[in-house]
Each structure stands twice: as C-alpha cells, then as structure tokens.
C-alpha cells in the first residue's frame, strides 16, 4: 500500500513519507474544520436549510480535497471560502435579489469560466502577468490574515482591540487557555518535535477542559440526516439567466474566485518550494469551484489554513486526500469535533502565519512603485478581511504608480486589463 502511495504521489521525490503526509492532513483538517459550522450558518442566511447547508459544505470539502490530492498532488485544502460565502448570501441573495438556487447557478457558471481559464493558456498568461513583488506580498498578506484569525479565535484580539488587557468578549479563561497553549505550541515547534501541531491540539483541548471551556454534553447531540443533502444538491435553476443581475453576479464572483486562487495557490506552492505544481493545483481548484454549485454551496477555494498542513510537513496530494477523508468521516462525528476549542487551534494559525511573514524580506523596499502596491496587499488582506479585496487594490495601484513615474512599459497589457476589471468590479459593488 505504501509503495503504491509512494509511486502515485511521488513521496520520495518530494522528500516526505506516508506518516508525515497523513499527520499533516490531520493537522490541516483540525485547523479548517470550523468551516463546517461557519459556512453553513452563513449559507442559511440566504434562506438555504441549515441541515442541508452542513451536508453541502462537507460534500464540497471532501470532493475538493480529493480532486486536489489526486489531480493537483499538492497539500492544498479546498473548502468553501470565507468572504465568498458572505458574497453569496449577503450580496447576491439579500442585496441583488437572487434566490439561493439562482445564486448556486451563478456559482456553477462562474466555475465553468474558471475551468476554461485554468485548462487553457489563459492560466499561464494571468500568472505571468502578476509581478514578483505582488506574488510575494500575497504570501505575506495571507500570513498576516492567518495570524489575525488565530488571534481572534484565541480571544487575544477582538475587533482590533487588545483583549489581554480588556479580556474581550470570549472571557479571561479563554484568553489564558490560548496563551498557555501557544507557549506549548511554540516550544514544541521550535524544538521540532515530531507531530508538534497534533500534540498541540490534544494538549490545548486538555488545557481548555481545566478552564471549564469544554461542554461534554454537546456530544449527546445527534448528527445530520444524510437525506437532507438532497434539499440543495443539484438545486440550480436557470430561470434568471437572461437577466443583467445574474451576469453582474457571475462577473463579480468570477473575478473573486479566479484571482484569489491564483494568488493563494501561487503563494502556497512557493511556500513548499514546488512552484511547478501550480498548473494542476490551479486546475483542481477550478473543477472544485464549479462542482460547488452542484453540491449546493458557495465556491471552494484554496484555504489559507492549508499552510498549517504544509508547516506540519505536507508536500503532496496525500495530505489533501487525508483531510478529505476526515471531512467525509466528520458527518458522523460533528458533535465530537465541536469539542475541540478555538484556544487549541489559534496558536497553530498564529505560528503558521508568522512563518509566511518571513517572505517580506524578498520585497525591494527601495523601489516604491514595487513595494507600495505590495504593502497595500499585505495590509488590506487582513484589514478588509478579504483576500480578494486586498489583491484587487494592489493590482490596481501597481500600474497606476508605474504610469506615474513613466515606467508604464514595465506593466504587461494583461495586468492593465486585470486592473481595469477589478476597478469595474468595485464600481458594480458600489452601484449595487
């Protein structure tokens, strides 16, 4: 069995082992499993049944991780994207007036366009058009974003305030449990203890239990009825496909999923020092995003939390496959998974984010036309809580500054078009 895995995933070539890959997959699962509850709740705001949204979220995550594992052979976890799910429920449905089945059709059509881009020369053209400084900035911005998520999950930062002093809305016990778990996590990580992140989750859960942060009674709750999946599975409707509103939604969503994933996937394959994996990983991402509309959820994306699996040693698709299978099993263990507190996950996100921040040393700070757009991306990804918005501002500012100093020829025509499309997308959002 291990020999087959070695040949299929190229474990020796990637200098990794079955044990390390599967351990990284487990770590990745526990850092991103919160998406089951959070994505489902946001989707329910569109009028979608909550139970069905839970199953759809799990199904799309299973499919996405397996496609990434077997086709992309990269340790990238594909799950419904935060921010994009809000675009689905609050913008497309509540603001633009689409029904949730129509919004699922938007997801499907946008996914088809994404697939066309990913499987043609357009993918290489778009990738080549992004300057090196902006690619590095996306990695750093994702690192800051992960740190912010970790700090919020730990109760250390609440709406931008310092809750170590104010003790935030999560309470003193939660903050103290996070701090103690972080000390354990950073010591284990620096000492390079095998399985350090997994040990952190276990010990972090034990620490949280001492502070009374775990309620075992939650395990008595029932799971989710699998039959509920059919409430949203294949629920697409093409009744509104001729309306302008429908195509504005398609345009906006396509811009977000294509360029967010270009930036994220590039940053992540660079993080594991295997940039040659970008092509297939990007293709896997597109297929998963398209299938999300059929499963009944907002599009899957390359999650920022994938970096936690990579930091744990994940280098191949076996990591993603492991996570996907755990998502499948999670249908029967949702009450157990809910026992793992945020205070046990937060330190891992903080550490991984800190690792990604190190790429800032690759930026040329002497050339402001290069560094300033990059710094905007780094700042705005966490500050706007949107990877897509942060990337968009940087992509718009870059050609503007190059034109201002007379170096407009250094910008490719492709990037000018991308910047223009991002600008049009912002205008559409303002109008709507």
User: pLDDT in tens for each of the 432 residues of the chain?
Assistant: 567 777 888 888 888 889 999 999 999 998 888 788 778 877 888 888 877 888 899 999 999 999 999 999 999 999 998 768 877 887 788 877 899 999 999 999 999 999 999 999 988 888 788 888 888 888 788 788 878 888 888 888 876 544 444 444 557 888 899 999 999 999 998 987 776 777 888 899 899 989 888 877 655 555 555 555 567 888 888 888 888 888 888 887 888 788 888 888 988 898 888 888 999 999 999 999 999 999 999 999 999 889 889 988 899 999 999 999 999 998 877 666 667 788 887 888 888 788 878 888 888 888 899 999 999 999 998 888 777 788 889 999 999 999 999 999 989 898 898 899 888 877 776 665
Report the C-alpha gap between 132 and 295 in whole angstroms: 36
Report the C-alpha gap between 256 and 266 in whole angstroms: 15
Report the C-alpha gap between 45 and 50 in whole angstroms: 9
In 3D space, the residue among 355, 412, 423, 395 whose CA is nearest the CA of residue 133 turns out to be: 395
Structure-block tokens of residue 54: 């839970």
In 3D space, the residue among 117, 98, 114, 116 whose CA is nearest the CA of residue 236 turns out to be: 98
**Res 337: pLDDT:** 65
Considering just the CA atoms, what is the radius of gyration of the chain in Å?
Answer: 21
Q: Is the CB of residue 62 less than 8 Å from the CB of residue 328?
A: yes
**Res 219: pLDDT:** 57
In 3D space, the residue among 197, 417, 185 whose CA is nearest the CA of residue 307 turns out to be: 197
**Res 284: pLDDT:** 97
**Res 163: pLDDT:** 47
**Res 165: pLDDT:** 46
**Res 232: pLDDT:** 83
Give residue 407's Cα distance to chain centre. Answer: 34
DSSP three-state, residue 202: helix
Ordered DSSP codes for 238-297: -TTTTSHHHHHHHHHHHHHHHHHHHHHHHHHHHHTT-GGGHHHHHHHHHHHHHHHHHHTS
**Res 228: pLDDT:** 58
Longest Cα–Cα distance in the chain: 67
**Res 229: pLDDT:** 57
Tens digit of each residue's pLDDT (9 = 90 or more) over 205-242: 899 989 888 877 655 555 555 555 567 888 888 888 88
Report the relative pairing of strands 161-162 and 157-158 from DSSP bridges: antiparallel
Report the C-alpha gap between 182 and 188 in whole angstroms: 10
Q: Where are the beta strands (DSSP E) in 287-329?
A: 300-302
DSSP three-state, residue 192: coil
Q: What is the pTM of this model?
A: 0.75
DSSP three-state, residue 102: helix
Report the C-alpha gap between 333 and 335 in whole angstroms: 6
**Res 141: pLDDT:** 85
**Res 285: pLDDT:** 96
Q: Is the CB of residue 245 less than 8 Å from the CB of residue 38?
A: no
The residue count for the chain: 432
- Helix (H) or strand (E) run with residue 161 in it: strand 161-162
DSSP three-state, residue 14: coil
Report the C-alpha gap between 81 and 107 in whole angstroms: 12
Beta carbons within 8 Å of 248's beta carbon, 6+ residues apart = 96, 428, 432
DSSP three-state, residue 80: strand
Q: Could you tell me the CA-to-CA distances from 299 to 57, 100, 106, 417 in Å, in that order?
A: 10, 13, 10, 24
**Res 432: pLDDT:** 58
């Amino acid at each position: 069995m291990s020999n087959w895995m070695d040949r299929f995933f190229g474990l020796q070539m990637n200098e990794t082992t079955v044990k390390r890959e599967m351990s990284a997959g487990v770590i990745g699962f526990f850092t991103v499993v919160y998406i089951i509850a959070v994505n489902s709740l946001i989707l329910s705001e569109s009028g979608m049944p909550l139970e069905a949204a839970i199953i759809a979220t799990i199904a799309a995550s299973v499919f996405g991780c397996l496609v990434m594992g077997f086709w992309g052979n990269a340790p990238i976890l594909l799950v419904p994207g935060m921010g994009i799910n809000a675009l689905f429920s609050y913008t497309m449905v509540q603001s633009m007036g689409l029904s949730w089945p129509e919004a699922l059709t938007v997801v499907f059509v946008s996914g088809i366009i994404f697939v066309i881009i990913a499987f043609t020369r357009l993918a290489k053209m778009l990738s080549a058009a992004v300057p090196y400084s902006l690619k590095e900035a996306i990695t750093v911005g994702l690192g800051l974003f992960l740190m912010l998520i970790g700090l919020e999950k730990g109760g250390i930062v609440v709406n931008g305030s310092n809750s170590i002093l104010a003790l935030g809305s999560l309470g003193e016990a939660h903050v103290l449990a996070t701090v103690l778990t972080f000390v354990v996590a950073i010591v284990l990580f620096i000492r390079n203890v095998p399985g350090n992140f997994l040990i952190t989750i276990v010990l972090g859960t034990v620490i949280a239990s001492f502070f009374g942060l775990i309620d075992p009674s939650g395990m008595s709750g029932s799971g989710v009825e699998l039959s509920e999946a059919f409430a949203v599975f294949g629920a697409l409707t093409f009744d509104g496909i001729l309306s302008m509103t429908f195509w504005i939604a398609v345009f906006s969503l396509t811009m977000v999923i294509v360029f967010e994933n270009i930036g994220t996937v590039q940053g992540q394959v660079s993080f594991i020092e295997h940039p040659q994996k970008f092509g297939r990983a990007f293709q896997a991402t597109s297929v998963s995003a398209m299938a999300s509309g059929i499963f009944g959820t907002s599009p899957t994306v390359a999650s920022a939390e994938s970096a936690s699996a990579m930091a744990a040693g994940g280098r191949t698709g076996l990591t993603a496959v492991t996570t996907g299978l755990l998502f499948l099993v999670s249908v029967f263990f949702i009450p157990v998974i809910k026992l793992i507190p945020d205070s046990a996950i937060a330190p891992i996100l903080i550490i991984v984010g800190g690792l990604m921040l190190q790429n800032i040393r690759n930026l040329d700070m002497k050339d402001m036309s290069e560094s300033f757009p990059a710094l905007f991306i780094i700042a705005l990804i966490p500050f706007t809580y949107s990877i897509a918005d942060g990337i968009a501002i940087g992509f718009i500012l870059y050609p503007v500054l190059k034109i201002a100093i007379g170096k407009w020829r250094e910008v490719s025509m492709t990037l000018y078009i991308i910047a223009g499309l991002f600008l049009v997308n912002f205008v559409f959002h303002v109008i709507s």
